A and B are shown apart, each in its own frame.
Chain A
Amino acid sequence: MKMGTRAGAFLGAVALAAGLVAPASANEDPVKIGFMATMSGPPGVLGKHLYDGFRLGLEKAGNEMGGRPVEVILVDDELKPDYAVTKAQELISRDQVDFVTGLIFSNILMAVFRPITESETFVIGANAGTSTIAGRRCSPYFFSVSWQNDQVHEVMGKYAADNNLERVFLLAPNYQAGRDAVSGFERHFKGEVVDTVYTPLNNLDFSAELARIASAEPDAVFTFMPGGMGVNLVKQFRQAGLADKVKFLSAFTVDEATMVATQDDALGLFGSSQWAMDLDNAANKEFFENFLAAYDYLPSHYAAQGYDAALLIASAVNAVGGDLSDKDAVREALKAADFSSVRGDFSFNTNHFPVQDFYLTQAVKNDDGQYVMSAVEKVFDDYGDVYAADCRM
């Protein structure tokens, strides 16, 4: 038994070493894309949505770019920054990928941003968009197909300001993205912030905060509670009877991924997004139908971003005819954003972040009994982020 364990581990190490030195076959030299995302643990559901969307995008592109086949190397970053850096090194120097995409969480993006962009490998950020990377540390090798973090929160602040919501209660987790959410909301909001409460990360029970909200009697609450935190908040918000009294505005809290767990409890709550399932354009209809057929669950905005990431890469590789050696040409081709985004209008700002429309969305049950986020109104038209001015490329 002892021997078996040790021998197994040793064989694994030897096999690992052997695999590393084996030369890559150069027959039909695929376009290599490293897809790094958090795939395990509770946040892994976001990675799954993003990855499934990405695979569907590749299929849409015919699993071929510029006449070359496509090879995707999936890497789970396990939400550990130092581990992600090691994995990024593997992608760059062992696998010599042409693109790295995925990147759900800000801290992972920040950890791998420098090593990858400095190796002159293109990064297509498909989710996190931190202010540093949008602003003073922007890179000619980084493109985002999602948003700059602040934008999604600004939508809610603008909406509250436009709809005369005078008194708003802000609730966010106690980490950087939570603080960004609050400052993003406050950028356009003109009314009174009755209170700002930061909860511990991975908070399970919001009863304390809900009691405060109830006693403050605000017009609306704005919150940013991604993943499981959002599920707990929404369920408890409903159970405390607040949903009928206080308007619930949110970002990254209510979406198709979390409504699997919240179901009826989320109905009527508001979110903000650059995408919704019922956006009326042909690309979106095709995406939605194919996604449901292929994976048998409803796509979220994460899936939509993954899909767009694949289409963007395909458009650029096709534009340069599969020749990725001229980095400037590839960059120009990426910058052109010559693909049909599922969100409709899409172009790149000077900092390589999207200029796009943003919507107020609402959780509804559609005719098929599915829980979806529906676009209620357009809040921003062709909207860029405020950090682009700091970016010098």
Chain B
Amino acid sequence: MAPAEAVSPSTLSERPSLLRAGVLSPLLFIAAFALLPLVVAGGDGAFLLTIAARIMIFALAALSLDLILGYGAMVSFGHAAFIGIGAYVIGISAEHFLEDLALTLPLALFICAAFGLLMGAVSVRTSGIQFIMITLALSQMAYFGATSLARYGGDDGLTLWSRSTVFGSSILENDVAFYYAVVVALALCYGLCALIVRSRFGRVLSGIRQSDKRMSALGYPVDRYRLVAFVIAGAICGVSGVLLANLTEFVSPAYMSWGRSADLIIILVIGGIGRLHGALWGALILLGLEDAIPFVFKDVLAPLFPADGESIGASLHAASLTIAQNWKVVLGPILILVALYARGGIVGVFSTRKDGS
């Protein structure tokens, strides 16, 4: 049982000061992403907006995972299932000429919540590795289910032939407009999550994480609280699926592979668990490294050395190119170092206080 004076990260954010990392940091993140289109306006910037939108979408998914993992100690190894389901709702609806978000977004939220209810119902009674494995099992079933949807492309996936409309307007076809829709969705979901963790519900959830026995003894229906949290997290994650389908204009079972679920956990561990904004920075770092490592080795390091000849320089040139190609050989050690030396994630490193968990 946790000692009484141990302050959990979530209780931290209850102190009503604006100038604290817990408020400043997400504001900074969202403001920076909101300003990006102004900086990179013009033809060249489009791909940068795609990268940034993808980072925000994964941040949103990781954020919803933090709600259950960070605040409810439920380590779901199947959270990407909700990304996939949200995306498939958009894809399948579009196949049936239902393309307006006014209908499809609530539908996606509803179906993700329903799947969350199913997944939660069988898993919340367990904990630890059993919880991890049950959530993995259910998401794998969703994955294999999607690959068997021959009518909707099966394993090849499903192409959207246009983005979703919003009350009949096809404004999202404009890349900048779509980008801002992602920014707004992330900001709203972040606000919602922040409200939830500060609410009485959120505090009970945190209490259950610290000691479910105590909360149970106090008369709280522990499993029901965990189930509700699971359903909410699933629905919010569904939003990221809706956005991902529209960003890539493509839906694939790969969106809900177990590797994706692992990515979401890694994002949280890198960023910092149980602090909401950890999800944002974690997504930026993990997805940023995906582009940055190959870039540094291919376009920065390799040109420093001569490409030809038998010299050491030439072998360094070749080595840089090889590493750029197999960039995960660099990512792996970075993850190990974070696990060994940056407990509490990047956000934990920056904050001055010791992690209470």
> In the complex, are there CB atoms of A and B closer than 8 Å?
yes
Chain A neighbourhood of B147, CB < 8 A? 174-175, 201
Asked if residues B338 and A110 are in contact (CB atoms below 8 Å), the reply is no
A75-83, A256-264, A312-320, A346-354: which one contacts chain B? A75-83
Does residue B14 face the partner (Cβ distance < 8 Å to A)? Answer: no
Measured CB to CB, the closest approach of chain B to A73, in angstroms, equals: 10
**Complex Cα–Cα for A96 and B147 (A):** 34
Q: Is A327 an interface residue (CB 8 A)?
A: no
Interface centre among A12, A20, A82, A111 (most CB of B within 10 A): A82
Measured in the bound complex, the distance between the Cα atoms of B78 and A43 in whole Å is 25
Q: Which residue of A lies closest to B337 (CB)?
A: A5
Asked if A130 contacts B249 (CB within 8 A), the reply is no
Across-interface contacts of A11 in B (CB, < 8 A): 296
For window 68-97 of A, CB contacts with B under 8 Å fall at 76, 79-83, 85-86, 89-90, 92-94
Contact of A9 among B255, B285, B328 (CB under 8 A): B285
1/0 per residue, CB under 8 A from A, across B129-158: the answer is 000000000000000000110100111110
Check: A39 CB closer than 8 A to any chain B CB.
yes
CA distance A224 to B292 in the complex (A): 38
> Complex: how many Å from CA A89 to CA B291?
13
> Nearest Cβ distance between residue A69 and chain B, in whole angstroms?
15
* Measured CA separation A114–B159 after assembly (Å): 8
* A94 vs B157: C-alpha distance when bound (angstroms): 26
Contact partners of B51 in chain A: CB under 8 A: 86, 89-90
Smallest Cβ-Cβ distance to B144: which chain A residue: A200
Shortest CB-to-CB span from A44 to chain B, Å, is 9
- Give the docked Cα–Cα distance between A256 and B179 (Å): 46
Contact A19 B295 (CB under 8 A): yes
Min CB gap B179→A, angstroms = 12
Is A115's beta carbon under 8 Å from chain B?
Answer: yes
Instruction: Give chain B residues whose Cβ lies under 8 Å from the Cβ of A175.
Output: 147, 154-156
Which residues of A sit under 8 angstroms from B325, Cβ to Cβ? 39-40, 76
> Which of A15, A21, A40 is close to B300, meaning CB atoms less than 8 Å apart?
A15
A106 at the binding interface (Cβ < 8 Å)? yes
Is B248 a contact of A85 with CB atoms below 8 Å?
A: yes
| Chain A residue nearest in CB terms to B54 | A86
B156 near A89: Cβ-Cβ < 8 Å: no
Evaluate contact between A94 and B44: CB separation under 8 angstroms. Answer: yes
Contact in complex: B252, A81 (CB < 8 Å): yes
Given that A5-B337, A13-B292 are known contacts, is A176 also in contact with B46, CB under 8 Å in the complex? no
Contacting residue for B50 out of A86, A107, A130, A177, CB 8 A: A86
Using a CB-CB cutoff of 8 Å, which residues 278-312 of chain B contact chain A? 285, 288-293, 295-296, 299-300
Nearest Cβ in chain B — how far from A223, in angstroms? Answer: 17
Q: How many A-B residue pairs have CB under 8 A?
A: 138
Inter-subunit contact B159/A113 (CB<8 Å): yes
B326 near A16 with CB under 8 A, answer no
A26 within 8 A of B: no
Q: Are A179 and B44 in contact (CB under 8 A)?
A: no
A89–B295 alpha-carbon span in the complex (Å): 16
Q: Which of A13, A21, A176 contacts B156 (CB 8 A)?
A: A176
Give the size of the chain A interface in residues (CB under 8 angstroms): 44
The count of chain B contact residues (Cβ–Cβ below 8 Å) is 49
SS class of chain B's interface: helix, strand, loop or mixed?
helix
Which residue of chain A is the closest to B291 with respect to CB atoms? A16
Q: Are A12 and B248 in contact (CB under 8 A)?
A: no
Q: Kindly identify, within residues 99 to 150 of chain A, every residue whose CB is under 8 Å from any CB belonging to chain B.
A: 106-107, 110-111, 113-115, 130, 132, 137
B295 touches A16 (CB 8 A): yes
Contacts of A293 in B (CB 8 A): none
CB pair A1–B337 under 8 Å, yes or no, is: yes
Contact with A along B318-349 (1 / 0, CB 8 A): 00000001101000001001100110001001
CB distance B48 to A111 under 8 Å?
no
Q: Does B232 contact A (CB under 8 A)?
A: no
Kindly report which residue of chain A lies nearest to residue B300, judged by CB atoms: A15
* B32 nearest CB across to chain A (Å): 12
Chain A residues, CB < 8 A from B289: 9, 12
Bound-state CA distance A76–B327 (Å) is 11
Q: B250 contacts the other chain (Cβ, under 8 Å)?
A: yes
* Interchain CB contact (< 8 A) of B254 among A16, A93, A107: A107
Do A82 and B252 have beta carbons less than 8 Å apart? Answer: yes
Inside 8 A of A132's CB, which chain B residues have their CB? 159
B114 smallest CB distance to A (angstroms): 24
A window 1-54: CB within 8 A of B: 1-2, 5-6, 9, 11-13, 15-16, 19-21, 39-40
| Pair B250/A111 contact, Cβ less than 8 Å | yes
List A contacts of B153 (CB < 8 A): 110, 176
CA of A1 to CA of B252, assembled, Å: 39
Among residues of B, the one whose C-beta sits closest to the C-beta of A11 is B296
Q: Do the beta carbons of A12 and B296 come within 8 Å of each other? A: yes
Binding site for B on A (CB under 8 A): 1-2, 5-6, 9, 11-13, 15-16, 19-21, 39-40, 76, 79-83, 85-86, 89-90, 92-94, 106-107, 110-111, 113-115, 130, 132, 137, 174-177, 179, 201
8 contacts between A and B (CB under 8 A): A9-B288, A19-B299, A76-B325, A89-B51, A93-B47, A110-B153, A114-B250, A175-B147
In the A-B complex, the 7 residue pairs with the smallest Cβ-Cβ separation, listed nearest first, are A175-B155, A12-B292, A93-B46, A176-B156, A89-B47, A85-B248, A89-B50
